[in-house]
Structure 1
């Protein structure tokens, strides 16, 4: 988890280092006097003979590489997977060896770019590069900076019960959709759906039964993994959301651009506008659509919010709103270098569209009045980054929530924020929060945590301000050294918080590497029956309210085979992997869009999935079509900008940001 950094001029580091947006993968440690020796430069020259000596292949197909990494003898071995040819395995092996050799100074004394401790830390986290689903390791993983995380095997019964009793009550209460009390396990779901459609067309239901059957039919139409369309971007996609009425979809991409699409016909999209952030830093972090769909607010790791009209005929520059204390628009461009600036991780419009609420990496929640263009409140209510904010009720601007890396959710009343005290709090996550989402009814809230759980909360069960101060629940989570960008989270690290006041805990997905988002399913297209989340493993997880998994939508096949043409390019699945950062369910149609990072953060995609129970594709246009950001058709290999095997481009292994 991130903490406030020193002055960048004195520390030589970026002031906006955060739990998600780390600018450098590892802190650089120079050898003695290396940082002062301006006359010496390290040049990496290829030595074919040396390379031939360093690589070996045993008779049984296992590849070995031996390198001298700054005085440390390192052996790298690769065992090709079934169906993987030796050429592809050897190429991946050589790339990794080159990375280690490069950062170790090529094995030459006086040219070590990382210290031995840092190199060991790197070697201890190389499992992040592998697609390994084995969760049974019992070794201690090397922590960031070389610290080991102590793990003690916990009680296997400490995990929440599945199915959840509280969740089962919610499912039968009617708050989260209809319940088929006459359901029979003997009737297949497809036949049950067909029978309900027939009864509807024959008019056999009364008004009450008709409404219930409509809800039950909507619950059956969960989108499948086969993609209708794949939108390919040259940079990772950080967010993608439908508007509340379903007529609009926008995607926020790392290239500081937001693409807007007309989805009034959800099966025939139309691109009509792209807007940019003029002062973007590192990536776009969030976006929010005004209630009337006329304005889009979007943010970067800067103290400014860009406000752009969604009207395609308005081609002017976006308005910039400064949420910093200075309020001096002339200093916007230099805000990154000031001591009082900050980055915005989350932004939301109020229900009336007059205000914005933002969460920042300065551990603050900012309320901004759009009409008067001034900050109304800046509240320091957390001990770490505020990664997500939202309003409790879409029709009211009064109650709002904030989720933080300090592992808490705070409840705020806009009418009493002047004293800087929260109205209540939720505790129960063991690690920081990545996202929060409100059901919009002023009562239920959903959160994603780095402890690999998603939790449902009821506002009526919030801990009061006095209880929070008295019990000090943060004492149990304050000293975690888990870094979700590099490490896997093990079950033995999870514990039940003594003051957990959540209703239901959902597990199974992977919240790693980035701030992965979760949502309630919409009432129109799903009868409000489900909750869902993106995942590091390339899937969208859909849960029933009792914490049982209703579906897994795997986007990896669509993202790898159709975009990258892996067979033609000789690139295997490790470059076709995907991390689903956010999924968005259409409010009225059985369509879901997964916004993802692809490869090793080389590019991104929005894969559009719909309900389809047929094996044959009779749609027009055909399913699985691949298009660019403006929805123009692409071929299998078109414009991927991926390196050919052996090209020596190591950027996808060792970048400047999150792995």
Structure 2
């Protein structure tokens, strides 16, 4: 009872219990409308900023506390095809962006320059991740700041993980991590010691930077039957989730990982997720050595590296998992039951990314229809500014590309 009475405020547990019943499912309302595909939508750690990344060499930073006004408008440098990933430094001072090249660029998002044209109105410092021994110019799929802001870690289509020391201005670690593209790499918790990686070789791996054998993972998690598109850590050093081209999300516990790779059941089908539908016969296949705690099905992972996340701790107690989907919906799953509790429908094309505000019941989704939109729990459904069905743009037919992210 004391928690209820202290300062006339509810405890964090009470807040979480109350807020998790109010999901951001009303709307949507437009945050931005661009003429190129929206690949990324990410809130800052405190929720004050939203970053949107678009295929046309464009990143916009929005102030969510000032009616979603553009805080910084960034025209990027030396992009190959699209922005593949973005990362905001822990102090929210610098933004790193990557593309299908071995260079990550850094831009200051807190200075007075609002219109940031690379190396015209503002310097976008380039960090080179390639090495003299690299046989080809690789592309970077995933970039993350370390929790202390001193390092950048990337996953790439050179089958490796690279760690860049920002103070020393060089790559200090190269890990030959997988036998296929490394689509995602991320830190496990608030320390910088443990990394998770996911690859097109269907494996999730765990790396401990304190170990002497840095080229060998401390654990492998087997269970997916196709390429991993994204990983999100629960932040507790134990649990994480992975999205996969086998059309599932899996929940993992590090305490169940193995030290060796168990052979996967050979595929009884051939397909290319960039342009084909998922084979119906493949939906019923199961890995004989599946180590996952739970499997979530319903959404679809096609055309691009679609992302999934735990819902915020503050407002939901991480009770939910949410993900974009190639069927133009945002799916919200209950972690405990595995059931789809909500499907957010409005977009006219693939939703590659989405982001739940860390403290408020607001969710932003980004789609290949060019829209960034927000979903709310408490807004008025009769608000005339709410986007209506029929306003969507369908993704152009016959869309082709050499790479699909």
State the TM-score, normalized to the length of structure 1: 0.56
Give the superposition deviation at 1:258. Answer: 1.2
RMSD: 2.7
> Partner of 1:284: helix, strand, or coil?
coil
1:614–1:284: structure 2 CA closer, same or farther, 3 Å change rule?
closer
Map of 1:518 onto structure 2: 308
Map of 1:549 onto structure 2: 340
1:414–1:264: structure 2 CA closer, same or farther, 3 Å change rule?
farther
1:325 aligns with 2:131: yes
1:245 aligns with 2:46: yes
Distance 1:311 1:213 in 2: 35
Match of 1:370 among 154, 159, 166: 166
Contact 2:207 2:214 (C-alpha < 8 Å) held by counterparts: no
Give the superposition deviation at 1:623. Answer: 3.0
Distance 2:267 2:286 in 1: 15
Map of 1:623 onto structure 2: 385
Give the superposition deviation at 1:413. Answer: 0.9
Contact 1:433 1:447 (C-alpha < 8 Å) held by counterparts: yes
> Partner of 1:367: helix, strand, or coil?
strand
Bigger Cα displacement from structure 2, 296-305 vs 228-237: 228-237
1:653 aligns with 2:401: no
Match of 1:440 among 235, 239, 252: 235
Structure whose CA Rg is larger: 1
Contact 1:230 1:624 (C-alpha < 8 Å) held by counterparts: no
Q: Which runs of 5+ in 2 are unaligned?
A: 114-120
Give the superposition deviation at 1:511. Answer: 0.6
> Partner of 1:390: helix, strand, or coil?
strand
1:483–1:417: structure 2 CA closer, same or farther, 3 Å change rule?
farther
Contact 1:431 1:477 (C-alpha < 8 Å) held by counterparts: no
Distance 1:417 1:241 in 2: 35
Distance 2:158 2:280 in 1: 31
Distance 1:204 1:656 in 2: 56
1:383 aligns with 2:179: yes
Query: Hey, which of these two has a bigger chunk of strand by percent?
Result: 2
> Partner of 1:226: helix, strand, or coil?
strand
Query: Hey, which of these two has a bigger chunk of helix by percent?
Result: 1
Please list, as runs of the form range in 1=range in 2, the aligned pairs for 1:141-180 lying within 5 A after superposition: none
> Partner of 2:61: helix, strand, or coil?
strand
1:616–1:264: structure 2 CA closer, same or farther, 3 Å change rule?
closer
Distance 1:653 1:273 in 2: 33
Contact 1:511 1:536 (C-alpha < 8 Å) held by counterparts: yes
> Partner of 2:17: helix, strand, or coil?
helix
Please list, as runs of the form range in 1=range in 2, the aligned pairs for 1:52-451 lying within 5 A after superposition: 211-265=12-66, 268-314=67-113, 315-326=121-132, 339-393=135-189, 395-416=190-211, 419-451=214-246
> Partner of 2:382: helix, strand, or coil?
coil
Q: Deviations over 1:599-636 (max 9, x none)?
A: xxxxx11111111375433xxxx53269xxxxxxxxx7
1:237–1:323: structure 2 CA closer, same or farther, 3 Å change rule?
same
Contact 1:388 1:435 (C-alpha < 8 Å) held by counterparts: yes
> Partner of 1:317: helix, strand, or coil?
coil
Bigger Cα displacement from structure 2, 484-493 vs 514-523: 484-493
Give the superposition deviation at 1:477. Answer: 5.0
Q: Deviations over 1:109-147 (max 9, x none)?
A: xxxxxxxxxxxxxxxxxxxxxxxxxxxxxxxxxxxxxxx
Map of 1:488 onto structure 2: 277
Residue correspondences, number: 391
1:397–1:390: structure 2 CA closer, same or farther, 3 Å change rule?
same
Q: Deviations over 1:142-168 (max 9, x none)?
A: xxxxxxxxxxxxxxxxxxxxxxxxxxx
Q: Deviations over 1:232-280 (max 9, x none)?
A: 1111111110011001110111112211111235xx1110212233211
Map of 2:353 onto structure 1: 582
Distance 1:309 1:381 in 2: 31
Distance 2:359 2:223 in 1: 33
Contact 2:49 2:62 (C-alpha < 8 Å) held by counterparts: yes
1:417–1:271: structure 2 CA closer, same or farther, 3 Å change rule?
farther
Distance 1:420 1:211 in 2: 41
Give the superposition deviation at 1:526. Answer: 2.2
Map of 1:119 onto structure 2: none
